[in-house]
Amino acid sequence: MNRIRGQRNIVPVISLEGYAAETDARRGDGVAGRALAAIARMRRAGVFFGTSLTVTRLNIDTVLDEQYLDGLMGLGCRLFFFVEYVPVREGTESLVLDGGQRARLAAAVASLQKRLPGLFIAFPGDEEAFGGCLAAGRGFIHISPSGRVEPCPFAPYSDASVRDTPLRGALASPLLAAIRDNHDRLTETSGGCALWSQREWVRSLIANPEGGHCRDGELNGSDRDLL
C-alpha cells in the first residue's frame, strides 16, 4: 500500500455491484468481503481510491441510494464510477438500462456532483460531453490481465500487447488506429455503448488485412460480463 500511495498517477478502483449479497451474486461468494478488506487497507494507508459500480436494471435502486453511497464515503471512497451495464454476450440484454433509467442515472449523478464531496462519473453517458466514444486511445484504452491492449472493456479484441510492445507503440496499432480514424461511425443515439452498437463493424476489422491481425479476446462471455 505504501508503494501505491507513492504513485500519484495510480488510483485503485474497486468494482462492486451494491451490498454484499448483490456483489457476491454476480462476482462470486466472498468477493464483497475481500473488496471491503482491500478498502479498509487503503483507507488505513491513506491511499486515494474509488469504486466502480455496474448499474443494471436489477441494482439501480441500490447503487443510487444515498445511504449506500454515504456508507462508501464513510469508508474513505471519494471517486465513484457508475458504469452502465453493456452486454458483451448476447442474451444478457435484459440487464441493460432502459431510457427512463438512463435519464434517472444522469440526473442522479449531476445532483451528486453538486451536493456531495466526491467525484461522480457516469460511463458511457458522460462521453457525450467529450465528443462521443473515447475508446481506442481517444480518451482511454483497456489493458487485459494478460497484457492485451483493447479498445475498451466492451470490445475484447487486440492486435498488440504491452508484454511485447511499449505502450506508445501499442497505441499506434492498426486496430486502434482504424477505430480512431472512423470515429464518425461511433455515434450511439440511445445513450448506450457505441462500440457495442457497432460490434459487427469492430469484429470485421479483425478480418481486414489492412487492419492488421487482431486476436479475439480469450476471455469467455461470462468473464466479460463481470466488467
Fold of 2-123: pyruvate-formate lyase- activating enzyme (3.80.30)
Q: Where are the domains of the chain?
A: 2-123, 142-224
The pLDDT of residue 43 is above 80: yes
pLDDT at 211 over 60: no
Q: What's the average model confidence in pLDDT over 66-89?
A: 91
Which grid coordinates are listed for 169?
507503440
**In the prediction, which pLDDT does 222 show?**
33
pLDDT at 192 > cutoff 70:
no
8-21 pLDDT tens trace = 788 999 999 999 99
Q: Which three cell numbers stand for residue 146?
A: 494478460
Q: 71 or 158, which is more confident? A: 71
Provide the pLDDT for residue 223: 36
Beta bridge partners of 216: 157
Q: What is the pTM of this model?
A: 0.73
